Amino acid sequence: MDIKVLGPLSVEACGQSIVPSAGKPRQILALLSVYANQMLPVPTLMEEIWGTQMPRSALTTLQTYILQLRRRLATAYGPQAPQASKDVLATRYGGYVLEAQPGAVDIHEYDRLVAAGREALDAGDDVQASLLLREALAVWRGPALVDVKVGPVLEIELARLEESRLGVLERRIEADLRLGRHAEVLTELTELTARHPLHEGLHAQCMAALYRAGRPWQALEVYQGLRARLVEDLGLEPSPRLQKLQQAVLASDPALDLDLDGHWRRPVLDLFAA
């Protein structure tokens, strides 16, 4: 099995796709794939498909979708493995589970690389952290399940994955900033702050990168742009840490400079924590 959900849905058995074209069976396969190796209760699967408006035939219809998926698995594995479809898409008490081998699911590989990258970052190994977090982000092939109509269960999971992706991206940029790669990340940060206009962490990184690149006036413009949007959209001022970062830029605070070995001391906003 080869299962990919960080992008268009792709599920292959013996090199053959088992992804159905019909919407609801495709949705069931997507949910089972996201939670591969975990038992999903029947009510959860039905909620994903029908929400709170479940028809009387919901259970029977769900069982039909499972049967359709098993038929596709059986075709992929061939007659030499007659039990494979039920072993891979297994029935458990109260639900179903899609069994996958280690390394077969892209979410699992992404999570493994993220954990290793965070460990390296916490240990101060910024080079390794940047490398591992880049590898984690490279696992993504586009928005998760971009070609699947999602229901309430998948919608929550996709929001979690996208938040995770943004957090990993922020940590990878932090590692690069600590390595003195401010010039290399400026274009990326300019795009990210435009795409996430209320994200203080990314704006702080952009300000620090601009300051280190010898463009403090632009760092202040980034702050003023964020402040204007926060006040207009939410009626809020920037956080105290970001306000202190602005003051640090105005005062050319040495805390914004690199260490003698070329590394940042701490994450940008942590420099100005209370």
pLDDT at 273 over 80: no
Q: Would you put residue 89 in left (φ > 0), alpha (ψ -120 to 50) or beta?
A: beta
Q: How far apart are CA 263 and CA 46, in angstroms?
A: 52
Look-up of token digits 């994200």: 199
Both structure tokens of 91: 């029935």
pLDDT of residue 52: 86
Query: pLDDT band at 94, cuts 50/70/90?
Result: very high
Give me the pLDDT at residue 81, please: 77
pLDDT of 260 strictly over 50? no
91 three-state secondary structure: strand
Mean pLDDT of the chain: 91
Three-state SS at 123: coil
- The pLDDT tens digits for 33-75 are 999 999 999 999 999 999 988 899 999 999 999 999 999 999 9
pLDDT for 83: 86
Give me the percent of the chain exceeding a pLDDT of 70: 94
Question: Average of pLDDT values for 222-248?
Answer: 94
CA angle 253, 259, 264 (to 5 degrees): 80
How large is the average pLDDT for residues 251-260?
76
Rounded (10°) CA dihedral 43, 47, 53, 58: -50
Q: Is the pTM of this model over 0.85?
A: yes
Cβ pair 50, 32 in contact under 8 A:
no
Residue that has been written with the tokens 């019909």 in this structure: 22
